[in-house]
Amino acid sequence: MTDHVTIFDTTLRDGEQAPGASMTVDEKVRIAQQLATLGVDVIEAGFPVSSPAQTEAVQRIVAEVEGPVTCALARTIEDDLLAAGEALEGGTDTRVHTFIATSDVHIEAKFDKLGDTMAEKRRAIIERAQTAIEHALTYTDNVEFSAEDAGRTDPGFLREVVQAAAEAGATTINIPDTTGYCAPSEYADLLSDVRESLPDPEAVILSTHCHDDLGLATANTLAGVKAGARQVECTINGIGERAGNAALEEIVMALVVRSDEFNVETSINPKHLTRASQMVSAASGFPVQPNKAIVGSNAFSHEAGIHQHGVLKERSTYEIMSAEDVGQDTEQIRLGRHSGRHGLFNRLETLGYEVPDGHRSEIYQRFLDLADRKKEIFDEDLERMMEEFGYGGDSPLGGERRMDGATADGEPLAYRLDHFSVHLETNAEPAVGIRLQRYDGTVREEEATGDGPVEALYRAIDHAVDQPHTLVDYSIRSISEGADAQGEVEVRIRYGENYFTGRARGTDVVRASAEAYVDALNRLAAAQSDAESVEFVRDSIMNAYNGE
């Protein structure tokens, strides 16, 4: 009989913890719906105690996404567990996931108040784990416990913790390689050792959670499956803390292609893998490298003559699976300025966008405007265009920032850049002139020079805004293909202890640079105008934690 392996997706929790990968609530709901279509068993929707947005994401996924179990993360702290339980309230299939560090290095660094000796601290950790599990069971009968940094935990103590967690009622016990330290053989031995120590190994499900610091996350996860783990924790595209997590698409296809080796099955429909990858890439802002296994644009491409000849005669010479198996479109429609409405909306429908008649004319015009600037329009361009129009969640204009100088709910922005001009001349500093509307109704026109056009632009905007802040980071990257590709600019500014990030994209990277800067300034202005927002930012920083 073939065993079932539960796919636990933590893209929306651990994946989002990757620096710069934060997603809006609408984006999270939309991705969760795609994960349900994909066939994921458990969606870890967020860490509710960390912020109101995390709580809202969990609540909305509980209410709007059918199929998978919705899971909320909590430390072994009463407030965390209460927040998780409240966020999951009303759900019919939910899970609380609670964790505490168990390795000596974590215990010494985090738990100096739990006792004077290591033995006292370890006893306190076991007590906290059991109390937390019992508390979580008052909200749901599906409770998962994780021994954070299990890969570097003393084996004897790890066995004690796992046994205590099982006795307290945990239904799933996770053995995470939090730092990506383990080799596959070591990790398999660790899982086997834990499994053999349990009085009734069949009463709980053992889980893997492997990070990719040494590039071994997928290998370790598969080793864990061979050792008896029947849940794997993973993320789309492998995003996550530091070097990321084990990639869902790699694990699933390894289990499919090498079913002879693993003899297990999942509920995943692989044909939806590429679409999920594209959605997460667009929402997180993390591009998928072309040579990424399974979902990369080159994963099924062949350039070498020998390879081309072999594949044309017999695909299996160089391909162990087909592009169609994972939802890759090897002959996608080419879109450009001569494409008609049918071609555009057919492609958008394929990408998962249902565009009502009332929005089609404006979207088509935006497509034509983009096509006038680019010779060829790729899926990434369409994703960005639809995001800018405001598509997200169930509403075609749900919560995204629009291009008309206001948020989707009509709230005016503090600053709007009406016009700018850039003058470039050999052997002279670039000169910029701008016209900017301010929150108080005034219009400021400023000029400035700089070492480059972007620096000159930012100096002029600073003069017009007249708001103290510090530019911390500026980055630009290509988000689509071709010499005329769109560029995405990300700007990070600081005011006091708080940071604000602005983003913009377009084929004109100077214009995108200006819009990203103004976006960051608008976020700063919004936080200043709302005392609760400022308090929230401060609380979020105080609640920062070291996740798995």
- Average pLDDT of 332-345? 69
CA distance 222 to 145: 21
Comparing C-alpha atoms, which of 145, 140, 32, 40 is closest to residue 92? 140
Which burial class, exposed, middle or buried, applies to 250 when counting CB atoms under 10 A from its CB (0-12, 13-18, 19+)? buried
Q: What is the CATH number of domain 416-539?
A: 3.30.160.270
- Average pLDDT of 214-241? 97
- Average pLDDT of 487-510? 83
Structure tokens at 308: 């081309």
CA distance 213 to 223: 17
Comparing C-alpha atoms, which of 402, 335, 380 is closest to residue 479? 380
pLDDT of 114-136, one tens digit each?
A: 888 999 999 999 999 999 999 99
pLDDT of 125-183, one tens digit each?
A: 999 999 999 999 999 999 999 999 999 999 999 999 999 999 999 999 999 999 999 99
pLDDT of 467-498, one tens digit each?
A: 788 998 898 877 665 555 677 888 889 887 77
DSSP state of 288: P
361 CB contacts (<8 Å, ≥6 apart)? none
CATH ID of 3-284, from 3.20.20.70, 3.40.50.300, 1.10.10.10, 3.30.70.3340: 3.20.20.70
Helix, strand, coil % over all residues of the chain, rounded to 5: 45, 20, 35
435 phi/psi in degrees, rounded to 5: -130, 120
For 120-196, strand residue ranges (E) read 143-148, 172-177
Cα angle value 35/261/275 (rounded, 5°): 20
Position 195 scores a pLDDT of: 95
19 CB contacts (<8 Å, ≥6 apart)? none
CA distance 190 to 153: 10
pLDDT at 406 over 50: no
Under DSSP, is residue 407 helix (H, G, I), strand (E, B) or coil? strand
Extents of the domains making up the chain: 3-284, 305-389, 416-539
What's the pLDDT band for 534 if we cut at 50, 70, 90?
A: very low
- Residue predicted with more confidence, 455 or 480: 455
pTM check: above 0.85: no
CA distance 430 to 449: 6
CA distance 258 to 119: 44
Helix H or strand E segment including 279:
helix 273-284
Q: Among 208-222, 376-390, 525-539, whose mean pLDDT is lowest?
A: 525-539
